[in-house]
Chain A
Amino acid sequence: MSIKKNDLPGRSKPLIFIIMGFLLVLIFILDLFLGSVNIRPAEVIRAIFRDTGSDIETIVMQFRLPKAITSVFVGIALSLSGLQMQTIFRNPLAGPYILGVSSGASLGVAIVILGFSSGLVLSGLQGFGNWILVISAWAGAGAVMMLIMFISSRLRDIMTILILGIMLASGLTAIVSIMQYFSSESMLKAYVIWTMGSLGNLSSGQLNVLVISVSTGIFISILSIKRLNALLLGENYAGSMGLNVKASRTIVFVCTSILAGSVTAFCGPIGFIGIAVPHIVRNIFKTSDHAILVPGSILAGGIVMTASDIVSQLPGSESVLPINSVTSLIGIPVVIWIILRNRNNSVLF
C-alpha cells in the first residue's frame, strides 16, 4: 500500500483530462438529442436557444435537460463516494452503499410504498407526491449513517466498522424482504420499480436540491484529497503522520452520506457506477493519488452515467430500460476488460 504516482509520462495526464472533459460535454449534448421521441437536431437546437413554447421545447427543456443534468450529477456523486469508501476501507469491493446507505433508504421507501399502502398514512400525505419518497429515503439513509458514525466514534478499528456496516445493511434488507413478502402485487411492483432507479422524475425544485447537495459533496471531496492520500497508507501510519483519523473518517462518512444519500433519495439505489468508476479511473491514470482520482472520478462518473442514460432510453424505440440494469450491463464488460488488461490492480491500492 503506497501512493503510486507518475507511471504515465507527465504530459499525458492533462491530455486525458482534456479528452474526458470534451467527452463529457459531447455525451451531455448527445443526451439532449437522443430520446424515445425522434426530434431533428435543428429542432432541438431551436428549442434550446429560442423560447418557442412548442411541444418540442417542452420535451427538450422539461424532460431531456433535467434528466441529462441529473445523470451527470448522479454519476459524479456515486463515483466520488465509491472512491472515498474504497480508500477508507482499503477495499476494492467497497462502494457508496457498503455501509447500508441504500438499505436505509430502501427501508424508508418500503415503509411508505409497502407498509402503509392500504392504510391511512399515505392518504394523509397525499399532495406531497414524490417528495414523500424522497424524504423517507433520505430519512432512512441519514439514520443509517448516524448510526455508523456513532459506532465509528467508539471503535478504533476500521475493519470492524466495515463488518458492522455490512451486517446492518443485511439486516435492513431482511426487514424490507419481510415487507415485500406481505405486500400486494401492485405495491410490490411499485417498490421494485423504485429499486430499479430512474433519472427523469425530478421536479425543478428537487433538481436544485440534488445539484446543491452533490456540489457540497464535491467540495468536501476536493478538500479531503490530502487526507485521503494519507489514509491510503493505513490508519496507523496516517495517525503517526499527525492525521486525526477519527475526524477524517467522520468527514468521509458525512461526505458519502450526502452524495449517495441524495442520489438514492431522488433516483433510487443506482448500482455499479460507484464501485466501477473509481477502478476505471485508477486504471486510466495508473495512479492512486487522489489529486488525480478525485477530478478523474468526477469526469468519468458523469460520462458513464450519462452514456447509460442514453442507452436506457433506447433511442428510436418507445420502450425504455431500467437505468440500474443498463449501468451494470454496460459497466461490467468495461471493468472486466480494464482489470484483465492491467493484471496488477493491487498496486493501485
Chain B
Amino acid sequence: MRANGISLFVVLLAFTISCNNRKDNNPADKQSSVTSSDSKAERFSIEKNDSCTILTIIDPWQGAEGVRHVYYLTERGKTSSIKADASHIIPVPVRKIICMSSTHIAMISALGEMESISGISGTDYIYNTALKLKADDGLISEIGYDSGINSEMILKLNPDLIMMYGIGSESAGYVGKISELGIKIMYNADYLETDPLGKAEWIKVFGALYGKEKLADSIYNAISKSYNDIKSYISENTVTRPAVLLGLPFRDTWFISPGNSYISTLISDAGGTYLWQDTKSSASMPFSLETVYMKSLGADYWLNAGTVSSKREIASFDPRLEKIPCYISGEIYNNTKRTSPGGGNDYWESGTLNPQIILSDIASILHPGILGDYELYYYMKIE
C-alpha cells in the first residue's frame, strides 16, 4: 500500500514538473474556461461570454471588504464594444508584463511566457536562475518597492499590464498616478488565499491573460489531483496528529498565524495539528511570549522559525526559547532550503505552484518515513 502510494506520488510529481516546463502555443489551447463551482480560490472569478472574458478580482488586499475589480479581457487586435473604463479592458494575450511579486514569476514561467516579463520588484530576490541571469544582464528592470516604486522606469518599459501585490489603500496613492498615465494595473491576491490549492489556482488568471486557459487548467488540475492524492494517502496511513508550533517571536511579542491561514491548512492536510488551529483572523495575531511559551510545551514540531539557519541563532534572540521541547528534541524545520545567495526563497516563488511538494515536505517531517525515503525539497532541519 505504502509503496503504491509513493510511486503514485512520484508519477504525479513528475507530471506536474513536466507541465511546468511545457511550452505550448497551440491555438486549440484557447478554449473557453470558466472557474468551476469546486474552485478553491476565493479571491478571483472568471466568466466567459461571446465577446470577452470577465475576470473579477475580489478583495485584493488584507482587510478589504466588498472590493471588486472587474476586468474585460478582449482578443488583441479586435475592436471591442465593451462599455467600461478603458483601464479595465485588457487585450490578451498580454505581451509585456511587470511583476510586483515573485509568486507571479513562477506562474508565468510555468505557462512558458517568461519572455514577457520586463520588470520585477526586487530583482535581488529572484530565485529562478534563468530569470536572475536576465535581471543581472539588465534585460529585466528593477521597479522598486512599495512607495519607492520607480514610476519613470515603468513608463519607459510601457508594459501591457502591471501585476500588483496589494498592500492596502496606502499603496493606492502611487498606483493611481501610474494608471492615470494609461498603464493597466491588476491586483494579485494569491497571497491572501487560505487554501494551498486556491493559491495555485491563480495560474488560471495568468492563463486567461496569456490566452492559455487550457494549459493553465491542465497544470492546475494536475497539481490539484496530486495534492488531493497525497492528502488522502496521508490521512489513510497515519494515526497520530503531531502538534505544530510556527514562527519566531519578535522581542516579547509572538505574531501567530491564525487557524484559517494557508500554512494551517497545509499542516492539517499533512496530518498535523496546528496549535492555534481553532483561531480565526484576517491577519497574524500578536500574542504574549508567555502564552505562546505555555502552548509550545505541547508542540512536537516547530516549523517556519523565521529565517534562522541554526539553533544557536534562535537562542541568541531569546535564551528562554531553549526551553521549548522542540528546541531540546531538535525538531525544528525551516522552509529555507532553496534560498539564493541574494536572499530569494524558492518556497515563496515556485512553492505557490507546488503545494503538493510543500505538503509532502511537511507530511514527511510530521510522519517520518510515510513517503519512503522522500528527500525534503523546500524544508530543511535546523541544527
Contacts and interface: CB of A to CB of B under 8 A. Distances in A.
Given A36-B287, A126-B313, A320-B288, A59 B250 contact: no
A104 interface: no
A130 B167 contact: no
Contacts of B293: 58-59, 63
Interface string B248-264: 00111100000000000
B290 A198 contact: no
A116 to B, nearest CB: 12
Interface stretch (A22-30, A182-190, A273-281): A182-190
A118 B124 contact: yes
A196 to B, nearest CB: 9
A59 B293 CA distance: 8
Interface stretch (B3-11, B76-84, B145-153): B145-153
Interface residues of B, number: 33
B294 A59 contact: yes
A129 B250 contact: no
Contact of A182 (B145, B252, B320): B145
B252 A67 contact: yes
Given A63-B320, A181-B148, A190 B250 contact: yes
A128 to B, nearest CB: 6
Contact of A127 (B167, B316, B319, B320): B316
Contact of A201 (B145, B251, B297): B251
Interface in B309-334: 309, 312-313, 315-320, 323
Contact of B147 (A35, A181, A203): A181
A37 B250 contact: no
A116 B9 CA distance: 42
Contacts of B368: none
Given A59-B293, A129-B313, A129-B316, A318 B288 contact: yes
B286 interface: yes
Contacts of A131: 316
B285 A319 contact: yes
B176 interface: no
A185 B287 contact: no
Contacts of B253: 193, 198, 320, 322
A78 to B, nearest CB: 18
Interface residues of A, number: 37
Most buried by A among B167, B285, B286, B323: B286
B99 to A, nearest CB: 16
A203 B147 CA distance: 37
Nearest to A194: B251
Nearest to A199: B252
Interface in A111-131: 118, 126-131
Contacts of B251: 130, 193-194, 198, 200-201, 268
Interface in B95-122: 122
Contacts of B285: 318-319
Contact of A36 (B147, B290, B319, B343): B290
A331 B318 CA distance: 30
A198 B288 contact: no
Interface string B284-303: 01111111011001000000
A160 interface: no
A127 B287 CA distance: 25
A199 B252 CA distance: 7
A185 B343 contact: no
A199 B316 CA distance: 17
Contacts of B313: 126-127, 129
A35 B288 contact: yes
Given A181-B147, A184-B145, A200-B252, A36 B316 contact: no
Interface in B334-350: 342-343
A221 interface: no
Contact of A203 (B145, B167, B319): B319
B287 A319 contact: yes
A306 B286 CA distance: 20
A62 interface: yes
Nearest to A313: B288
A55 B297 contact: yes
A128 B297 CA distance: 26
Q: A63, A181, A322 — which one has the most chain B CB atoms within 10 A of its CB?
A: A63
A64 interface: yes
Most chain A CB within 10 A, of B122, B147, B252, B313, is at B252
A63 B288 CA distance: 10
Contact of A59 (B145, B290, B312, B316): B290
Contacts of B309: 126
B309 to A, nearest CB: 8
A341 B180 CA distance: 55
Given A182-B148, A190-B250, A200-B289, A55 B294 contact: yes
A200 B148 CA distance: 34
A319 B293 CA distance: 13
Interface string A26-48: 00000000011100000000000
A268 B293 CA distance: 23
Nearest to B121: A184
Interface string A317-332: 0111010000000000
19 contacts: A35-B288, A62-B320, A62-B323, A118-B342, A118-B343, A126-B309, A128-B316, A129-B313, A130-B317, A181-B147, A181-B148, A185-B146, A190-B250, A193-B253, A199-B252, A201-B252, A203-B319, A319-B287, A320-B252
Given A62-B323, A181-B147, 15 more contacts: A55-B294, A59-B293, A118-B343, A126-B316, A129-B313, A129-B316, A129-B318, A130-B251, A184-B146, A201-B252, A201-B318, A204-B319, A318-B287, A319-B288, A320-B253
Nearest first, the 10 closest Cβ-Cβ pairs linking A and B are: A129-B316, A200-B252, A36-B288, A36-B291, A198-B251, A201-B251, A320-B288, A63-B290, A201-B252, A318-B291
Interface of B: 122, 124, 145-148, 167, 250-253, 285-291, 293-294, 297, 309, 312-313, 315-320, 323, 342-343
